[in-house]
Structure 1
Amino acid sequence: MTTPNKTPPGADPKQLERTGTVREIGSQAVWSLSSCKPGFGVDQLRDDNLETYWQSDGSQPHLVNIQFRRKTTVKTLCIYADYKSDESYTPSKISVRVGNNFHNLQEIRILGTNNLRTFHEMLVIYCFYTNYFFFLIFLFFTQTTSV
């Protein structure tokens, strides 16, 4: 099932939520990270403060796992990336993969983030219905090495 993206690129998801255009469903999921530095984990990733952030602490790829407890259709994924703020830690590529479990993930989107400083919306055109009671979204982050 495909639905058109009716929100403008670069739109502020919080403003869209206030106007009823979108609904935030991240609180319905369990979030986990491949690694993080102390004080830079899931809470900072999701706290709606652009001054705080997740910072990985391990080898690549860096992963964000978003697991819903029941079947959930995700139409839009909003990510804020500020490449100019910190080139060395801002990912150069984000891969969005969905599936029933880690072993059957399918890549549905790739986003390059170099030189970005905006909310990036990616329309998830693959509405995923399963026979299982969870839905997994894995975000794979890769970074270019600074020379």
Structure 2
Amino acid sequence: MTIFWLKALHVSFMVAWFAGIFYLPRLFVNHAECDEPKVIEHLKGMEKRLLYFVTPFAFLTVIFGIALIYQYGYQWFVAAKWLHIKISLVIGLLIYHGYCFKLLKTFKEDKNTRSGKFYRIFNEVPVLILFAVIFLVYLKPF
């Protein structure tokens, strides 16, 4: 598989992953601010389906990213300092994604104590990571 195919697949899965990871905390905002039992049950289903739907995209993003690194080679990897920062940010995003599973469980068990404001701020984390990754990939500083 050529590098162009790997890049296209990597970016495509990344976009799908981010679409879900942007929307999920918005559902958490609505859930945290809701007091209507029927709506809460509906949100629980939406949250679960969305998180389980986008999780494979996270794995595929990582798999194709690793394949790209492999294709470019060890020397390139060692020299690409910007890539090391990008990988650290992606690891942070994977931790964020994993934490969403904890939040999903908290909401499922009706044990959420955080406000909608918390989830609005929480929703900004992947946005900041995405901006940083895009600047690193296109500007390749260091």
| Larger Rg, first or second structure (1 or 2) | 2
What is the TM-score when the length of structure 1 is the normalising length? 0.25
Structure with larger RCO (C-alpha < 8 A, sep 6+)? 2
The structure that is helix-richer by fraction is 2
The structure with the greater share of residues assigned to strand is 1
Q: TM-score, normalised by structure 2?
A: 0.25
